[in-house]
Structure 1
Amino acid sequence: MTTTRPLSLVTGASAGIGAAFARELATQGHDLVLTARRADRLESLAQELRERHGAVVTVLPADLADPSAVSRLCDELDARGLRVDWLINNAGYGVPGTFEAVEWPVHEAFIRVLMTAPAELAWRLLPGMRERGHGRIVNVASLAGHVPGSAGHTLYAASKAYLIKFSQSLALENRHLGVHVCALCPGFTWSEFHDVTGTRQLMNKLPGFMWQSAEAVVREGCRAVERGDVVHVTGSVNRVIKALTKLLPDRLTLWLSARESKRYRALEATQ
């Protein structure tokens, strides 16, 4: 009997949680489409997955800050006859500095990558999933989307809260058709994210128990979306933080956020 291997599209697949998703899904027998800006890293990962898991891996480099990137990416999928079963909306980064200290085009690119691109990819790929009666969409949000915003990295928590609410509505609209949507909400994760934002030195002050590996986050995420969880916060420490945030008065949580953010938020832009 012949079986068709699932096909997963992973954005931001060149490092961190994105690369971990690619490796985990390849282990589970998926073929993959990998996209990110850094083609050399994608090719290296693709070769690894082909050799280790026999996966068919397609590399389609793209900069999701480009307004036409998603439509061109999906046109290429159609041209190659690739039907996406799993969409992992993972691409993201942080913009250090206070809101007014950063040029608007930088904020605009951030909004496109973290908010517009995930929504457009879902919009373009959902019809096929609905028609086939099966699909999985994981929007990589963050614990930051559940707790009060902080000074610095102004749009980051806002973008993650957006992904959570977007995922909830999308899940309700599609679960009866076999399409599961999950907002995956990790806390502090070992990756190069903080090196890129220039906050690694600040991050190193946090205790070890606050951190998870990208692999642990991804394993939880895959199980959560298969179960039909609509929002999943990874790690017991992060789930406690989320629960406490809901229980404490807003004034207190904002005060705590202001105090703690000084330890790990860069208030001066490093662009």
Structure 2
Amino acid sequence: MRKPVLAGLLAAATLVPAWATPPLPEWRESDGYLIGVVVQYQGQTYRALQSHTAQKGANWNPASTPALWQLHHGPVQRCAPWQAGYSYALGDQIRFEGDYYRARQAHTAHKGTEWQPPRVPALWQPIQQCEPVTPVPGNTDTINGIQVPPDPGAAGRKTLAGIDADNDGVRDDVQRFLAQEVGQHPARFKYAMEMARITQLEILSASGNDREKARALFNKGTLPSKCFSDTFSNSIEDYEWLLKYWKKIDALHSNTPERMAAYRKGDELIGGMMFHFPIRYQCD
């Protein structure tokens, strides 16, 4: 129910050697956190269970809010940024401009060779993410390398909730659409799925006429929306693509009269409200 504004150019990230583990960020009040983000707090490691903004004065620190944060035990698996000039071993996993890759062969990314992962498919294989993906139970299809539930067809339009065979909070037809549209870009797919989960909750809860719940869901959705937009440039091509994308995803979310009514009701509930937007936010 939100149309994120196309974000500005990505700030240049500080690169570290592939063998060095970047320090985990410390939790900070007023920051925004996307689901899955890992932080340090009072010497402990926590993973965000929900996308949220740590509202100033609310005392939503990880130790005090088990609904928002889970104590994380064991190593944090994540990719280091790709770095020119470093040597990579077979199987090394890295991230580059929001995408993830695994080394197909050992090599040194000599400076000046422009061996960035997207340019040298002989050296780097695109992967969905560093952490292992949980397989979808039952019959599945594969779209852009992503396992998705089968097409629900007409059965998926019989109820407001539709069919969610893998219980990930996203209707199967929406999940398949996202895999097709943005599945080649792992970060975009991740953020698009989080937005879809929140939109589904907005649709399902609209009949309750709970304006505060509607406000909370809208606030929660600002983070994945910003992160999704940050994966695009300021080019005219990206802007035009996004306009078409928002029209298609809106139409899919509201593809039955019942869903359309709930979709509009959700927009009505948040009309005239004030919202909290994080000054800083972490996109994992």
TM-score by length of 1: 0.24
In terms of Rg, which structure is larger? 2
Higher helix fraction (1 or 2) = 1
TM-score by length of 2: 0.24
